[in-house]
Amino acid sequence: MEKPIFKNVLQVAVVVRDLDEAVKKYADEYGIGPWKIYEFDPKTVENMIIREKREDYAMRIALCNIGNVQWELIEPKDEKSIYAEFLRTCGEGLHHVAFAVDNYEEAMKFFRAKGHKILQGGTWYGLTYTYLTTEENLKFIAEIYNMPPDFEWPEPDAVYPPESEKESKE
């Protein structure tokens, strides 16, 4: 391989049982936030996939930045997703790391050539996210994105702390 496949760390994600409780703890006790909260389900995500098969799932997520890295908290809303599976087998904790790649299609060819499959994925407002079966080789789940150049973050369903919502709109 001529160059590294991963270009930058974009996101670190933690699976939690109760998103509201976790967001409050991060913000109120550690000053981490503000958090933008979104629902991911068949109404907001197209082409949902679990283990290479078309399958709907649902979760709530909260996003904030710590320095240049986005932090994501994820609460599964069903028993089908890889997040629900993670909670059952490992409990709450670090789940995956998302990386920038030069070219999503080329990166997928690279991972497929190494025998990796899509663990879970979907397309949210035009942004395709893909979790790969890298746990055995890399000892964690890697996620990559195919983000259109004109991608714009949608309005969050909620913000915590609530006073940060009006600040973000000013």
pLDDT, position 1: 52
Instruction: State the residue for tokens 């259109």.
Output: 148
The mean pLDDT value of the chain amounts to 94
Mean pLDDT across the stretch 149-163?
93
Round to whole Å and give the CA distance between 98 and 144.
Answer: 6
Q: Quick check: 97 pLDDT over 80?
A: yes
pLDDT, position 170: 47
pLDDT, position 3: 72
CB 35 within 8 Å of CB 14: no
Give tens-digit pLDDT for 11-37: 999 999 999 999 999 999 999 999 999
User: Could you tell me where the beta strands, DSSP code E, fall in 4-137?
Assistant: 8-15, 35-40, 45-50, 53-54, 59-66, 69-76, 93-100, 118-124, 127-132
pLDDT grade, residue 115 (50/70/90)?
very high
Mean pLDDT across the stretch 117-121?
97
143 by Cβ neighbours in 10 Å (0-12 / 13-18 / 19+) ranks as buried
Please state, as a whole number, how many other Cβ atoms lie within 10 Å of the Cβ of residue 137.
12
Give tens-digit pLDDT for 36-86: 999 999 999 999 999 999 999 999 999 999 999 999 999 999 999 999 999
Round to whole Å and give the CA distance between 148 and 161.
Answer: 30
Domains and CATH numbers, the chain: 8-169 (3.10.180.10)
Q: pTM of the prediction?
A: 0.92
CB 47 within 8 Å of CB 106: no
